[in-house]
Amino acid sequence: MEQQMQGVRRRQCDVLVIGGGPAGSTVAPMLAEKGHRVVLLEKAHHPRFHIGESLLPANLPLFEKMGIADQVKAIGMHKPGAEFVSPNHEMSSVFTFAEAWDKSMPHAYQVKRDEFDTILIRNAADKGVEVHEGCKARKVDFLPDNTATVLASHDDGSQSEWQARFVVDASGRDTFLANRFQIKHRNPKHNSSAIYGHFTGARRLEGTAEGNITIFWFEHGWFWFIPMPNDITSIGMVTWPYYMKTKGERSLQQFLMDGIAMCPALAARLQAAQLINEVEATGNFSYVSERNHGTNYVMLGDAYAFIDPVFSSGVLLAMNSGVIAAEAIDTCLRTPDKAPAALKRFDALMRHGPKEFSWFIYRVTNPIMRDFFMGPRNLFRTKEAVLSMLAGDIFGKTPIWPSIWAFKVLYYLANIMQPRRAYLGWKRRRFNIRKVDDAVVYNA
């Protein structure tokens, strides 16, 4: 239904999805397939550049479920595992997903996000979602009758207003609803920034390991090295805000290259490499919202919370949030008396992923944890369990949790046995994550 009033087109739908990234482009077609009228608003036009190019094995069953597995395979670089390189250890450590608890997900893919996200949003349209690209949500009002109106502006200057029974915020780092409700907060337990670019000519691992992601630790954080098809490699420096303040008058490109020079193992891999795009930066990497849902809205993926990209969990958590949201929203719309229970389950699942990854992320730069990663042992099947976590296998029935608990106990025991080293690691982390002046400049 459409009405034209005062230059604003007024329409109705069952579900209005804000954002056409992995979260929005997952929940939208799943709801459309359940018979709901779904509208998706995406401020950009696909294809568009985005980081977060490394996927996890647990993504693959979702691709099969959505019917896009072959399309993703066609654009992806085969990723059998992950390599960790530490300046304090002679040898690198390689984790292969085939050694995880569940042997049925032995690989993932590295993808260019412009291609990957285009596949997702086109799939949404193919499944019956009304997709509007170049359309930015500007305002939302939640009404007494439990509906909501969302006002959006189009690239051509026109405006549309949708009345929806349910609103999905999948706006990513724009955090549309969290900003409106003023419930988004800097994560007090973490604080990082990222500077990144694409290179050609980077030296990769040999043979079947060519597509592995590599994590390089260095003094001020860590680097990602993500091989993608057509000799393109994504390089990103994730660092602490205090180090960002040392950028000074340097361009972002020079700041990134100077950081690479501080990491000899990575510099060697990039000796013959050429930067092929403009270096970009993102600050305020780690944040969390006070809640992820209300009576007739949910917040998915990065629109709810983001921690750190070290374990490549972003796309998985976004897409999985779309899956669990589709189930909850369908229940809310069809059987309102069951809505509270459905949203309670949604909330628990939404918090589960960030919680489990956070425990490792908060400690991954600790020297004792680094020892665990650089010399893994499978005592109490802990290596298999941690590999399953790294693969994103944390939402299914794989019985990894007793072994994850055992891993944590072993880590705490190692800290007790090395009190001075543990204290210095804790003190250093407190220094690293401290808040700095918000006026730090992230653009050249």
> d(Cα 30, Cα 328) in Å, to the nearest integer?
12
DSSP three-state, residue 58: coil
441 band by pLDDT with thresholds 50, 70 and 90: very low
Q: How many C-beta atoms lie closer than 10 Å to residue 386's C-beta?
A: 22
436 band by pLDDT with thresholds 50, 70 and 90: confident
pLDDT at 8: 86
437 band by pLDDT with thresholds 50, 70 and 90: low
The encoded tokens of residue 84 equal 């960790």
Number of residues that this document lists for the chain = 444
Alpha helices (H) along 197-272: 241-244, 252-261, 264-269
286 band by pLDDT with thresholds 50, 70 and 90: confident
Buried b / exposed e along 330-354 (16+ C-beta atoms within 10 A): bbbbeeeeebeebbeebbebbeebb
pLDDT per residue as tens digits for the range 82-98: 999 999 898 899 999 99
pLDDT at 442: 42
> d(Cα 427, Cα 413) in Å, to the nearest integer?
18
Backbone CA torsion sign across 145, 152, 46, 289: negative
The amino acid sitting at 68 is: I
Q: Are the C-beta atoms of 142 and 293 separated by less than 8 Å?
A: no
CA neighbor of 79 nearest in space, from 62, 96, 99: 96
Planar angle of CA 274, 207, 59, nearest 5 degrees: 85
Averaged pLDDT, 300-309: 93
pLDDT at 6: 58
Averaged pLDDT, 350-366: 93
pLDDT per residue as tens digits for the range 49-73: 888 999 999 999 999 999 999 999 9
pLDDT per residue as tens digits for the range 167-226: 999 999 999 999 999 999 988 889 889 999 999 999 999 999 999 999 999 999 999 999
Note the Cα 259 to chain centre separation in Å: 23
**What percent of the chain shows pLDDT beyond 90?**
88
Q: Are strands 184-186 and 287-289 parallel, antiparallel or unpaired?
A: antiparallel
> d(Cα 181, Cα 177) in Å, to the nearest integer?
6
What are residue 143's phi and psi, to 5 degrees? -100, 160
Q: Are the C-beta atoms of 28 and 169 separated by less than 8 Å?
A: no
Domains in the chain, CATH or no CATH each: 2-71+113-185+287-356 (3.50.50.60), 77-110+191-285+365-444 (3.30.9.100)
Averaged pLDDT, 388-411: 96
Q: Are strands 108-110 and 77-79 parallel, antiparallel or unpaired?
A: antiparallel
The amino acid sitting at 154 is: H
Averaged pLDDT, 286-293: 95
CA neighbor of 40 nearest in space, from 113, 114, 112, 123: 123
pLDDT per residue as tens digits for the range 116-143: 999 999 999 999 999 999 999 999 999 9
Q: Are the C-beta atoms of 85 and 217 separated by less than 8 Å?
A: yes
Q: How far is CA 253 from CA 221, 264, 360, in A?
A: 17, 18, 30
pLDDT at 82: 96
The burial of 355, by beta-carbon neighbours within 10 Å (0-12 exposed, 13-18 middle, 19 or more buried), is given as: exposed
Q: Is residue 405 predicted with pLDDT exceeding 70? A: yes
444 band by pLDDT with thresholds 50, 70 and 90: very low
The DSSP call for residue 382 is H
Predicted model pTM = 0.93
pLDDT at 194: 93
Averaged pLDDT, 371-380: 92
Average pLDDT, the chain: 94
